[in-house]
């Protein structure tokens, strides 16, 4: 029966009370009288309370004894000991056979204590159980039936305690309600309005309606909100570290670069394997860039093909056709090249510290650790007199802020840095040294054609964003972190990233 019909029955019972509004109804007694579950009556009481002053309610708490599931079974079938006694024929029963009954073990022990049965250990065929008395009285069953009939008071505390110990009885707290007529009592249930509408105001019907009072203490539902992807959380941590070290963020919103800025400006030869289509995504439309700083382009062409600035160059025929090819940038170092060129155009050089965190694109074979697009983190420092020691010291401070303190440096080769170093850290979980970044000092062949003063050095380093994120969040396959196969529940559930964990 729904709350609505139960509420109507409750109101009619209240109306029939002889003593006026002072008489009360007990919710538990009402449930018994109507043959309903008590919770149905409680639900109706709650519904009527929400209508205002229709009823007055006082909550009472009391304790009572109830039968457990096993107690209900015994009240119907008999106690374990009585069932053991009744299962014994005149010639007795093997103890091993008796123990096969569900009630055998407990019943045997209790019946033996009551001296209803005895055990003959020397009987032929094995120990045999016999009756010791002609008949028994199942007092346990009778007592449980009394409790079932609401006469638990007829049992003394010792009997109740014994039943509770046998897990046949349990004491429960019952919450009941005393219900009286309220100041706005009515047998007609009128739904209260929750909103004052434009139509009510225009027609004046609001005067005849009952409005539900506002609950200013209610917190309401939490609004749905966005969730930060783990990559974005780790990116925020990296960005904060750079800002704490006094770096300025570079603009990285141009995913498309010309080969000139992506390769040539970095003193990377035009026949380098990285320029092949199996390593780089080239564009078909627009296929070529047309605007370049021509004086700078000529200096880059000369240092590639003829040498200069103390370098022999690469000694090949440099072509602008190759430099014009548009591509999806393969590294954010192309952005660093643009920023350093812009710095060189200033009237007076000023030391700078730049950083960037953004996407780059490579024509990679997809596997558990490689994607065709990923994020590159880059730091660049330009100043007079910088040395390899400055690079190593800056790297140590940077990685210490990441929680990485054990560092090793290994000589490496990059087309646009000399010297170059790969950075390794000891991974305690893997128990081995793993590469965490790459670094170096930009070559004079890259810096001097830009117009930077001869005494200016530039140190730089970079690493991926995905690798530390996978380590922090325990993700083994990069395709579970980025891409169309990502489980969005992972994004919702991911904890705040702690870089010192």
Instruction: Kindly tell me if the per-residue pLDDT of 222 is higher than 60.
Output: yes
The total number of residues written for the chain in this structure = 501
Where does a domain end: 93, 119, 137?
Answer: 137
- Kindly indicate the confidence band of residue 21, based on its pLDDT and cuts at 50, 70 and 90: very low
Q: What pTM was estimated for this model as a whole?
A: 0.54
Model pLDDT, residue 364:
67
For residue 10, what is the domain's CATH number? 3.30.1370.240
Crossing angle between the packed helical segments 69-77 and 139-148, to the nearest 10 degrees: 120
Model pLDDT, residue 246:
92
Q: Tell me the mean pLDDT in the region 26-49.
A: 85
By CB atoms closer than 10 A (0-12, 13-18, 19+), residue 458 is: buried
Question: Does some domain include residue 214?
Answer: no
150 in the same domain as 106: no
Residue numbers of the domain that contains 113:
80-137
Nearest alpha carbon to residue 376 among 425, 329, 331: 331
Nearest alpha carbon to residue 405 among 388, 427, 389: 427
For residue 126, what is the domain's CATH number? 1.10.10.2330
Q: Tell me the mean pLDDT in the region 341-358.
A: 92
Model pLDDT, residue 494:
67
Question: Does some domain include residue 226?
Answer: no
247 in the same domain as 120: no
Question: Does some domain include residue 498?
Answer: no
Model pLDDT, residue 302:
93
CB-based contacts of 385, cutoff 8 Å, min separation 6: 455, 457
Helix locations, 204-280, DSSP H: 230-244, 259-262
286 in the same domain as 336: yes
Q: How many other β-carbons are positioned within 10 Å of the β-carbon of residue 304? A: 24
Model pLDDT, residue 365:
64
Model pLDDT, residue 198:
92
Question: Does some domain include residue 219?
Answer: no
Q: 454: which DSSP letter?
A: T
Q: Tell me the mean pLDDT in the region 76-82.
A: 92
Mapping DSSP to helix (H, G, I), strand (E, B) and coil, where does residue 361 land?
strand
- If residue 90 lies in a helix (H) or strand (E), which one and from where to where? none
CB-based contacts of 136, cutoff 8 Å, min separation 6: 81, 82, 85, 114, 116
255 in the same domain as 302: yes
Q: Tell me the mean pLDDT in the region 406-428.
A: 86
Model pLDDT, residue 495:
60
151 in the same domain as 132: no
Instruction: Kindly tell me if the per-residue pLDDT of 160 is higher than 50.
Output: yes
437 in the same domain as 381: yes
Instruction: Choose the weakest-confidence range: 68-72, 148-152, 238-242, 338-342.
Output: 148-152
320 in the same domain as 182: no
Instruction: Choose the weakest-confidence range: 90-99, 414-423, 429-438.
Output: 429-438
If one counts the domains in the chain, the total is 3
Share of the chain above pLDDT 70, in %: 93
170 in the same domain as 40: yes
- If residue 485 lies in a helix (H) or strand (E), which one and from where to where? none
470 in the same domain as 385: yes
Q: Tell me the mean pLDDT in the region 226-251.
A: 87
Question: Does some domain include residue 397?
Answer: yes
CB-based contacts of 79, cutoff 8 Å, min separation 6: 107, 110, 138, 140, 141
Residue scoring higher pLDDT (124 or 191): 124
Question: Does some domain include residue 250?
Answer: yes
Instruction: Kindly tell me if the per-residue pLDDT of 2 is higher than 60.
Output: no
Instruction: Kindly tell me if the per-residue pLDDT of 116 is higher than 90.
Output: yes
pLDDT tens for 255-287 read: 899 999 999 999 988 888 877 766 788 888 888
C-beta separation of 330 from 359 below 8 A: no
128 in the same domain as 238: no
Q: Tell me the mean pLDDT in the region 169-177.
A: 86
97 in the same domain as 242: no
Q: 463: which DSSP letter?
A: E
Model pLDDT, residue 174:
81
302 in the same domain as 177: no
Residue 325, beta-bridge partner list:
288
Q: How far is CA 492 from CA 111, 234, 488, 495, 498, in A?
A: 61, 15, 7, 9, 17
Question: Does some domain include residue 61?
Answer: yes
Instruction: Kindly tell me if the per-residue pLDDT of 243 is higher than 80.
Output: yes
Residue scoring higher pLDDT (45 or 4): 45
Phi and psi at 269, nearest 5°, equal: -65, 155
Output the average pLDDT for the chain.
85
Question: Does some domain include residue 331?
Answer: yes
N- to C-terminal Cα separation, the chain: 56
For residue 428, what is the domain's CATH number? 3.30.930.10
Instruction: Kindly tell me if the per-residue pLDDT of 1 is higher than 60.
Output: no
Where does a domain end: 94, 111, 137?
Answer: 137
pLDDT tens for 428-471 read: 666 778 787 889 999 999 999 999 998 899 999 988 887 777 77
């Amino acid at each position: 029966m729904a709350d609505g019909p139960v509420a109507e029955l409750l109101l009619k019972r209240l109306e029939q009370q002889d003593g006026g509004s002072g008489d009360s109804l007990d919710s538990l007694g009402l449930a018994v009288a109507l043959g309903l579950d008590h919770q149905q009556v409680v639900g109706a009481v709650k519904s009527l309370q929400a209508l205002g002053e229709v009823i007055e309610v006082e909550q009472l708490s009391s304790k009572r004894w109830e039968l457990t599931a096993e107690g209900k079974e015994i009240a119907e079938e008999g106690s374990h000991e009585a069932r053991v006694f009744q299962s014994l024929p005149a010639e007795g029963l093997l103890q091993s056979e008796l123990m096969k009954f569900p009630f055998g073990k407990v019943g045997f022990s209790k019946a033996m204590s009551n001296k209803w049965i005895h055990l003959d250990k020397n009987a032929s065929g094995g120990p045999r159980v016999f009756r010791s008395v002609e008949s028994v009285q199942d007092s346990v069953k009778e007592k449980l039936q009394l409790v079932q009939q609401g006469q638990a008071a007829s049992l003394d505390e010792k009997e109740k305690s014994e039943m509770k110990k046998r897990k046949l009885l349990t004491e429960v707290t019952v919450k009941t309600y005393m219900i009286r007529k309220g100041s706005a009592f009515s047998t007609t249930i009128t739904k209260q309005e929750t909103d004052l509408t434009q139509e009510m105001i225009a027609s004046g019907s609001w005067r005849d309606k009952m409005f539900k009072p506002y609950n200013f203490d209610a917190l309401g539902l939490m609004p749905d909100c966005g969730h930060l992807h783990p990559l974005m959380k780790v990116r925020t941590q990296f960005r904060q570290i750079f800002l704490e070290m006094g770096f300025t963020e570079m603009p990285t919103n141009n995913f498309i670069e010309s080969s000139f800025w992506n390769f040539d400006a970095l003193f990377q030869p035009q026949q380098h394997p990285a320029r092949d289509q199996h390593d780089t995504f080239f564009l078909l439309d627009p296929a070529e860039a047309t605007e370049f700083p021509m004086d700078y382009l000529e200096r880059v062409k000369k240092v590639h093909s003829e040498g200069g600035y103390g370098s022999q160059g690469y000694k090949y025929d440099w072509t602008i056709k190759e430099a014009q090819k548009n591509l999806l940038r393969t590294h954010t170092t192309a952005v660093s090249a643009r920023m350093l060129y812009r710095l060189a155009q200033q009237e007076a050089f000023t030391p700078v510290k730049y950083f960037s965190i953004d996407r780059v694109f490579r024509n990679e074979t997809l596997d558990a650790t490689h994607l065709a697009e990923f994020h590159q983190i880059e730091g660049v420092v330009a100043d007079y007199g910088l040395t390899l020691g400055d690079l190593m010291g800056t790297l140590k401070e940077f990685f210490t802020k990441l929680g990485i303190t054990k560092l090793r440096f290994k000589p490496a080769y990059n087309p646009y840095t000399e010297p170059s170093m790969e950075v390794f850290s000891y991974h305690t979980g893997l128990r081995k040294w793993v590469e965490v970044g790459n670094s170096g000092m930009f070559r004079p062949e890259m810096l001097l054609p830009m117009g930077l003063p001869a005494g200016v050095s530039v140190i730089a380093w970079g690493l991926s964003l995905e690798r530390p994120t996978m380590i922090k969040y325990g993700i083994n396959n990069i395709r579970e972190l980025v891409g169309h196969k990502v489980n969005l529940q992972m994004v919702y559930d991911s904890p705040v990233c702690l870089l010192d964990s």
